[in-house]
Amino acid sequence: MTTPAPADALRPHAEQVYAGELRALAGADDRPRPPRWRMSPWAVVTYLLGGTLADGTVIMPKYVGARRLVEVAVATLATDRALLLLGVPGTAKSWVSEHLAAAVSGSSTLMVQGTSGTAEEAIRYGWNYARLIAEGPSDAALVPSPVMRAMEAGSIARIEELTRIPADVQDALITVLSEKTLPVPELGREAQARKGFNVIATANDRDKGVNELSSALRRRFNTVVLPLPVDAESEVAIVASRVAELAASLELPPVPPAMEEIRRVVQVFRELRSGLTTDGRTRLKSPSGTLSTAEAISVVTSGISLSAHFGDGRLRPDDIAGGLVGAVIRDPVTDRVAWEEYLDVVIREREGWSEFYEACREVR
């Protein structure tokens, strides 16, 4: 179980922030539950997508997207197949992974963060070398990985950025996912997964070719692709909601909601992502960055901080411009050309955007 968060924790875990909702759902849930699940698959989907319980308890949505997609992901976890959440950066893969683990197992902390330096011990097990040298191989000297601990507890293990992990380390998962065992030859035994164990992995579309999954490993996963928001209003709602949560968590001085500026950021990102203006009349050069919803949230949150601490307490275009330009221009040559063309051809001519245009010109 996850320990209680300190009162001033900067970023509490999902099961800590939404403990009340999880208790209410589990208490009201009378549907069949897979072994060791805290609630039924139906209740897990309700926790992710939001709803109102019979007693009037409101469950806030954690993910805005197609219900069927979430149902497929949750149903996968109730089988012997692992779940791979795939998508471009910023499509809430880690966010969904965390909330799924919190709802199913009550803890989202059994996690391996994938990097190019992730070693096999992070997936299998390691050793306390002082005890190993002094006593030889023993259970006391064994240091279980998060995956091994999840197997023994019958809970969910999370692996973030799976394709960032070297291919030979990735393959340590094959036996775990196919045989549901983890051999420990040094001790002449194995760890067997208990019912309720499964793995949620995340990977970015943009990482294809970095450390591609072997066909043997890919077959052990059901893949669910998380898309970018379908329409602008959905994306605006996501950005507004997450910005409000972050501002409260960071205890930023209150700034009145500025939906006009949020819509502006979302529109700029969506147009540059698609390479086409909203009215379909002008084709655009797309920058090299992803310009994801997560980056839009970051731009608006940064703007609120600027406005609260250095502005007049109202979110204005010049509070947004610096963060937005920084998000767009990743390559100082090609991205700058695309951005300046967009500014001069589209933004300068757009009615009601003159203040935003001037603010962006100042930082370009």
What tens digit of pLDDT does each residue of 76-114 get? 999 999 999 999 888 899 999 999 999 999 999 999 999
3-state SS assignment for residue 297:
helix
Mean pLDDT value of segment 292-311: 93
Instruction: Report whether 307 contacts 314 (CB < 8 A).
Output: yes
Q: Residue 287 pLDDT > 80, yes or no? A: yes
Measured over the CA atoms of residue 211, residue 214, residue 217 and residue 222, the dihedral's sign is positive
Q: So what's the architecture of 14-225 in CATH?
A: 3-Layer(aba) Sandwich (3.40)
Percent of the chain, pLDDT > 90?
A: 78
Q: Residue 331 pLDDT > 60, yes or no? A: yes
207 pLDDT tier (thresholds 50, 70, 90) = low
253 pLDDT tier (thresholds 50, 70, 90) = confident
Instruction: Report whether 297 contacts 242 (CB < 8 A).
Output: yes
Number of other CB atoms surrounding residue 219 within 10 Å: 13
Indicate the average pLDDT of the chain. 92
C-alpha dist (Å) from residue 49 to 150, 247, 296: 26, 22, 21
pLDDT the model gives residue 10: 82
Domain boundaries, the chain: 14-225, 232-363
Nearest to 263 by CA among 234, 295, 306, 292: 234
Mean pLDDT value of segment 245-261: 86
3-state SS assignment for residue 181:
strand
